[in-house]
A and B are shown apart, each in its own frame.
Chain A
Amino acid sequence: MRVRRTFAKWLIILGVLHGTVVSAGFFAPYDPVEQDRKSPYLPPMRVHLMDVHGYLHVRPFVYSQRLQEGSFDQYEEDTREPHPVKFFLSGARYQLLGLLPCGMHFFGAENARIYLLGTDAYGRDQLSRLLFGGQVSLFAGLLGAGITLLIGLGIGAVAGYYGGWRDDLLMRVAELFLALPWLYLLFALRAFLPLAVSPLEAFFLIIAVIGAVGWARPARLVRGVVLSAKERDFVRAARGFGASNGYLLRRHILPETSSVLLTQAAILVPQYVLAEMTLSFLGLGVPEPVPSWGNLLSSLQQYSVLVSYWWMYLPALIMVPFFLGYLGLASSLQEREEAYKIQRSSLGSLT
């Protein structure tokens, strides 16, 4: 019971995190590629409640920033006019969930631009880019994990169920894939695919590459489950009644692998999000101007950015809550698997 509760807790946390990213258009104040060339590398704005004259405001507000005298990248707050933070106002058009055309934003300011996480070299809002970038990175991770699990399920099922030379061959290839350090393998696959492609092509290329890399471990786990499942009494009984291979796999054997697959998914998704980040960071992934968590960080490869504009580092930390959520989910799933195993073995001893 306790295991189920922690499982639900992590699922809710992850749901909220993903929900925020999925509805990025609503939570982001601006369009992620909209440039504000007059304010490059603007530091994050402070949200005030008290203005320079010492008056307390009910509604939080920000001051817009202007260049300091004689500087090209140092800003100071323009304290002449406070810009109150407004909620649910209309702004840049976007498609909610990729379907509903919509214009309402969670927050923003009238007559001024509000940059809670600062801006990048082109004056693009970092918060908006971060939220929209999450759509790319998380989707890549989820879809990649889906592909890996499908491949792993297929290969593991064939190897475990049919056995013989198929098993030998497939498991040998799996060993090859396990023998390569996975980042090198990812590089190797990426190396031999076209470099200059459109963002959308690059995105699907990345997903395909990431998805194709990790199938060996799930395949081995699935094979193990299938091996033990096909010798269980009810499967033998079904076979005795004349069930076909396809029916047995579909109806009796593959459902047994669901808990293993679920745990693997919780482990793989953050790993794959990180893989996307790494590739994009190194310039092998999703190209500009489309934001992704990886290419948001790639400007940090220049020392000047690293030294002067600390807020450009913030996207690196965005993975932490997601990692935490997935780690919690994975460990609660593993606990559940253990509990299930113990339950089953104690039942087995009764009969």
Chain B
Amino acid sequence: MRYLLRRLGHALFLLAGVSVLAFLFTALAPGNYFDEMRLNPQIRPETVAALRAQYGLDKSLPVRYASWLGSVIHGDMGFSFAYNSPVAPLLLVRARNTLLLAITAMLLAWAVALPLGVWSAERLGRLPDRLLSWGTAALLVIPDLALALGLLVLAVRSGWFPTGGMASVDFETLSPLNRLRDLALHMILPVTALVLSSLPLLIRHARAAVADVLNAPFLLAAVGHGIRRRTLLYRYALPAAANPLISLFGFSMGVLLSGSLLIEVVMSWPGLGPLLLEAILARDLYVVVGGILFSTLFLVGGNLLADFLLYWADPRIRTESSAP
């Protein structure tokens, strides 16, 4: 229990730290949203100054941070100048879309990587294993950007999948079942790109972790007892190899999020990525801060989940933490 509380406290510390860091970066910014207005001769300088005062941009950094914290507690997370609305509702919709993409991709990637890793570890050094290693190496050297663009070219040329966006134009008129189908069709391309880009790392780690365990004496003994191969691999070897893999699970969340930022922009998926890019170009300060905070939240959440799983899966951690 103390272990879990410590991890939770750590996660909160990270979030608070990142928000401070993001605000420090904003202090470095040479311009703000209202600077563009200054160039416009039809807007009087007093108006710009009044707007700046209205949004509190003329206050000092600690004051701004404090008032921003207050608005986080109110569930606003600051104010978007470009959208003229509180930031949180904007971000929530986008974050939902990003999560939909990232979680689907993560589940799929693990579902593919685990069996492949186990399969490959069992044949360590033999031809199938070497072929798979070459395959993962090949995937590893293709940059995400090239992968995403290549898939897009393929989709555009073949016309098999919708390219871009999250829903067809007539989405509102469809029946619920068809809506689901439409969404799934739109997800194929970005999810494929994400899965392919995260797969090599996962397969390599799964393979290494299982291969490590397969030489353990207890497994040799199990082989001696004549336990079935499948039971042996998935019932005994995989749980023993789970520890590093669960840590990797938390880490893969971060990889997927960074990957999805780019892929969302390329495939015009309405997630956090395009919003963040727009906000950067428009200097929409609080949207940028909010977007960064949300991405950190996902990552920290993923790591926290990994910690919980580890606590549940690994008795050593439980006994260690219950000791005073």
Chain A residues with CB under 8 Å of chain B are: 172-173, 175-176, 179-185, 187-195, 274, 277-278, 281-284, 297, 300-301, 303, 306-307, 310, 313, 316-317, 319-320, 323-324, 327
Contacts and interface: CB of A to CB of B under 8 A. Distances in A.
Contacts of B296: 179-181, 184
Contacts of B255: 181
A246 B210 CA distance: 45
Contact of A323 (B140, B164, B280): B140
Given A182-B258, A187-B261, A192-B29, A313 B292 contact: no
B276 A180 contact: no
A193 B28 contact: yes
Contact of A191 (B25, B142, B146, B257): B25
8 contacts: A183-B257, A190-B280, A274-B145, A277-B143, A283-B281, A297-B149, A327-B137, A327-B140
A307 B156 contact: yes
Given A176-B14, A191-B25, A274-B144, A316 B149 contact: yes
B299 interface: yes
B311 to A, nearest CB: 20
Nearest to B26: A192
Contacts of A192: 25-26, 28-29, 288
A119 to B, nearest CB: 19
A319 B141 CA distance: 8
A179 B144 CA distance: 21
Nearest to A319: B143
Name, among B28, B141, B142, B164, the residue most crowded by chain A CB atoms within 10 Å (CB to CB).
B141
A26 B262 CA distance: 34
Contacts of A319: 141, 143, 146
A184 B31 contact: no
Q: Could you say which interface size class chain B belongs to?
A: 35 or more
A278 to B, nearest CB: 6
Interface stretch (B16-24, B72-80, B230-238, B315-323): B16-24
Given A193-B30, A277-B143, A313-B153, 17 more contacts: A175-B14, A179-B300, A181-B254, A181-B255, A181-B261, A181-B296, A183-B261, A184-B258, A187-B277, A191-B29, A192-B25, A192-B26, A316-B146, A319-B143, A320-B142, A324-B141, A327-B141
Contacts of A190: 280
Contacts of B140: 323, 327
Contact of A194 (B31, B141, B257): B31
Given A179-B299, A180-B299, A195-B281, A320 B292 contact: no
B295 interface: yes
Interface in B24-49: 25-26, 28-31
A300 B137 CA distance: 26
B152 interface: yes
Nearest to B253: A181
Contacts of B149: 297, 300, 306, 313, 316
Contacts of A324: 137, 141
Interface of B: 14, 17-18, 21-22, 25-26, 28-31, 137, 140-146, 149-150, 152-153, 156-157, 163-164, 254-255, 257-259, 261-262, 265-266, 276-277, 279-281, 283, 288, 291-292, 295-296, 299-300
Contacts of A172: 17
Name, among A184, A185, A274, A316, the residue most crowded by chain B CB atoms within 10 Å (CB to CB).
A184
B156 A306 contact: yes
A176 B10 CA distance: 11
A189 B266 CA distance: 21
Given A176-B21, A320-B142, A306 B28 contact: no
Contacts of A187: 261, 276-277, 280, 288, 292
Contact of A278 (B25, B262, B276): B262
Contacts of A307: 156-157
Contacts of A179: 14, 17-18, 296, 299-300
Contacts of B164: 303
A277 B295 CA distance: 22
A311 to B, nearest CB: 11
Contacts of B261: 181, 183-184, 187
A274 B156 contact: no
Contacts of A283: 281
B288 A323 contact: no
Name, among B18, B146, B281, the residue most crowded by chain A CB atoms within 10 Å (CB to CB).
B146
B239 to A, nearest CB: 27
B144 A180 contact: no
Nearest to B288: A191
A194 B30 contact: yes
Nearest to B22: A188
Nearest to A325: B141
Nearest to A326: B141
Contact of A181 (B25, B145, B257): B257
Nearest to B289: A188
Contacts of A195: 281, 283
Contacts of B30: 193-194
Name, among A173, A176, A192, A283, the residue most crowded by chain B CB atoms within 10 Å (CB to CB).
A192
Contacts of B31: 194
Contacts of A274: 143-145
B46 to A, nearest CB: 26
Contact of B280 (A183, A284, A310): A284
Name, among A181, A185, A189, A306, the residue most crowded by chain B CB atoms within 10 Å (CB to CB).
A181
Contacts of A191: 25, 29, 279-280, 283, 288
Top 6 closest A-B pairs, CB basis? A316-B146, A192-B29, A183-B258, A323-B141, A191-B280, A181-B258
Contacts of B150: 313, 316
A300 B148 CA distance: 11
B270 to A, nearest CB: 16
A179 B17 CA distance: 10
Name, among A278, A284, A313, the residue most crowded by chain B CB atoms within 10 Å (CB to CB).
A278
Contacts of A313: 149-150, 153
A317 B163 CA distance: 21
Contacts of B146: 316-317, 319-320
